[in-house]
């Protein structure tokens, strides 16, 4: 099977869920105050600005280096990110549920403190098994998500041989694509997870070379820094 010419993945922009979860963890709360189901969590205003910065980055690429097709998680925050980033580019979009975020089951809306207090046996089981293999009741392990990604990548490779494909997904999707495409082991994956604060609207990518995808960018946020600098300059000019 022919390899892709290039594969990129963008994590969605900042979401209401990101903000509420961070506030709950920081405040030592047990439950995240979020009314929407995970699939319906929208972007914040900042998240939309981040997605717009991704769009400027895409439009600045020379045509031979631009994505030709996009596959997007059907969750609202990823659909909104793709809609803003790809507006006016003409890049075709397909939604695929295999790119959705990991399903948390009984851990949904619980902070780390909440899991420890309300589900201590699950907290202990998660600690013992580790992220790759721990499956919460009613939810998924990272290995379950990998099964989805293996299936997705087979289809993307078959449908776009030599092509340039952009994925828009979630934090776990980015990390697990590295595990899958770069043949990482469990220890390396977990170390990467501990060491990396995966930025909203960061870009990670791989370039096809010698019949394999080789790492190019990881958690790249230069386009976001440029957007922030432009904003600061505009604010200064108005003062």
Which CATH number fits the domain that encloses residue 197?
A: 3.40.50.1240
DSSP output for 20-50: HHHHHHHTT-SB----S-GGGPPB-HHHHHH
- Which residues face 167 on adjacent strands? 9, 71
Judge whether 87 lies within some domain.
yes
Mean pLDDT of the 104-129 span: 98
> How far is Cα 85 from Cα 185, in angstroms, rounded to an integer?
33
Q: What are the structure tokens assigned to 71, written together?
A: 């596959």
Q: Measure Cα distances from 149 to 98, 153, 154, 213 in Å.
A: 6, 6, 8, 15
Q: Taking 90 as the threshold, does the pLDDT of residue 57 lie above it? A: yes
Note the pLDDT tens digit of each residue in 205-216: 999 988 999 999
% of the chain surpassing 90 pLDDT: 92
Phi, psi values for residue 63, rounded to 5°: -50, -40
Of 9, 17, 194, residue with least CA distance to 104: 17
Report the DSSP pairing between strands 93-95 and 212-220. unpaired
% of the chain surpassing 70 pLDDT: 95
Q: Taking 80 as the threshold, does the pLDDT of residue 128 lie above it? A: yes
Q: Would you place residue 236 in the very low, low, confident or very high pLDDT band (cuts 50, 70, 90)?
A: very low
Better-scored residue on pLDDT, 236 or 191: 191
Mean pLDDT of the 68-77 span: 98
SS3 state of residue 13? coil
Q: Name the strand (E) or helix (H) holding 93.
A: strand 93-95
Judge whether 82 lies within some domain.
yes
Note the pLDDT tens digit of each residue in 163-204: 999 999 999 999 999 999 999 999 999 999 999 999 999 999
State which residues form the domain around 177.
6-238
Judge whether 76 lies within some domain.
yes
Instruction: Domain count for the chain, please give it.
Output: 1
Better-scored residue on pLDDT, 225 or 175: 175
Q: Please provide the average confidence, as pLDDT, over all residues in the chain.
A: 94
SS3 state of residue 181? helix
Judge whether 1 lies within some domain.
no
Q: Identify whether the C-beta of residue 203 lies closer than 8 Å to the C-beta of residue 16.
A: no
Judge whether 69 lies within some domain.
yes
Of 75, 11, 82, 18, residue with least CA distance to 44: 18
């Amino acid at each position: 099977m022919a390899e892709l010419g290039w594969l990129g993945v963008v994590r969605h922009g900042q979401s209401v869920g990101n903000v509420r979860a961070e506030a709950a963890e920081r405040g030592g709360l047990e439950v995240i105050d979020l009314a929407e189901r995970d699939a319906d969590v929208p972007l914040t205003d900042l998240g939309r600005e981040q997605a717009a910065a991704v769009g400027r980055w895409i439009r600045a690429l020379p045509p031979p280096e631009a994505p030709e097709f996009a596959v997007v998680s059907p969750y609202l925050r990823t659909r909104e990110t793709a809609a803003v980033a790809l507006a006016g580019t003409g890049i075709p979009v397909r939604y695929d549920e295999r790119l959705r975020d990991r399903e948390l089951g009984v851990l949904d809306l619980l902070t780390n403190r909440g899991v420890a207090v309300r589900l201590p046996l699950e907290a202990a089981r998660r600690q013992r098994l580790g992220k790759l293999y721990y499956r919460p009741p009613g939810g998924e392990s990272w290995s379950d998500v990998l099964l989805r990604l293996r299936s997705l990548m087979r289809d993307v490779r078959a449908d776009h041989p030599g092509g340039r494909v952009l994925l828009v997904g979630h934090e776990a999707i980015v990390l697990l694509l590295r595990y899958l495409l770069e043949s990482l082991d469990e220890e390396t994956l977990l170390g990467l997870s501990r060491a990396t604060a995966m930025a909203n609207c960061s870009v990670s990518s791989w370039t096809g070379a010698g019949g394999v995808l080789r790492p190019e960018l990881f958690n790249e946020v230069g386009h976001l820094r440029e957007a922030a600098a432009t904003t600061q300059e505009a604010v200064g000019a108005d003062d």
